[in-house]
Structure 1
Amino acid sequence: MGYDLHITRKSEWFDEDGDEITLDEWCNFVKSSSDMRLDGFAEIETPNGTLRVESEGLSVWTGYSCHEKDGNMAWFDYFEGNIKVKNPDDEIIKKCTK
């Protein structure tokens, strides 16, 4: 079982009302960061072939200590005014709070 961590300006990430992070803000943040990369997609190989997800704000944290070790990637995805990270470990959570 997994979980998502959301970076948000709202009281609750799922609220319809409240301040949002704009896609431009997110992309500018990623582009200005020396340890983040804006890819716009993620791919993994599965026994049944390649799984590809595309999202305009999908970024990877290249400064992650497990980056590309055994296929590990720390993906940060922009979605509906929030940034979402799936199944973050302690290191990724610490990155989210900076």
Structure 2
Amino acid sequence: MGYELHITRAAEYYDSEEHPIALDEWFSYAENTPALTVGGWIWWGEDRHPFYVYTCADGSVVSMTWFEGAIDVKGHFGGDAYREFGSFAEDLRADLQGDDGERYTASGVLPPDN
């Protein structure tokens, strides 16, 4: 089973629709960020949308896809999550969160809020 990271404005990534990163905002950001390139296309209903790829410092490639108001980061990489994806989250005025609710910050990983 894979593990994902989420760039979200919500307190919990699964509530991202309540505090969304708008789809058009994401596309504009991704298109204007040289580190992101179109990796292919996905279909949502009758609409085709791009997903983006990012090459990590260790050479691994991850996908970044908008889903229900958050950006999902999928793939395997060997680096520090915040160093890899923190600037994307900051640029989007959002947080970087793992599937288990932990938050990745410049000062380290914070445990989930309980």
Which TM class, normalised by the smaller chain length?
Answer: 0.5 to 0.7
Partner of 1:78: 66
Partner of 2:2: 2
Displacement of 1:18 after TM fit?
A: 2.6
The two structures have a TM-score, normalised by structure 1, of 0.66
Displacement of 1:34 after TM fit?
A: 1.2
Q: Does 1:95 align with 2:88?
A: no
CA contact (8 A) 1:30 1:36 kept: yes
Richer in strand (by share): 2
Partner of 2:52: 59
CA distance in 2, matches of 1:92, 1:75: 16
Displacement of 1:19 after TM fit?
A: 1.3
The 3-state SS of whatever aligns with 2:25 is helix
Gaps of at least 5 residues in structure 1 are: 42-53, 67-71
The two structures have a TM-score, normalised by structure 2, of 0.58
CA contact (8 A) 2:8 2:16 kept: no
Partner of 1:19: 19
> What is the RMSD computed on CA atoms of the aligned residues?
2.3
Partner of 1:48: none
Q: Write out aligned runs for 1:16-55 (5 A).
A: 18-41=18-41, 54-55=42-43
Aligned length: 80
Identity of aligned residues (%): 30
CA distance in 1, matches of 2:66, 2:77: 19
Gaps of at least 5 residues in structure 2 are: 44-48, 88-114
CA distance in 2, matches of 1:58, 1:16: 18
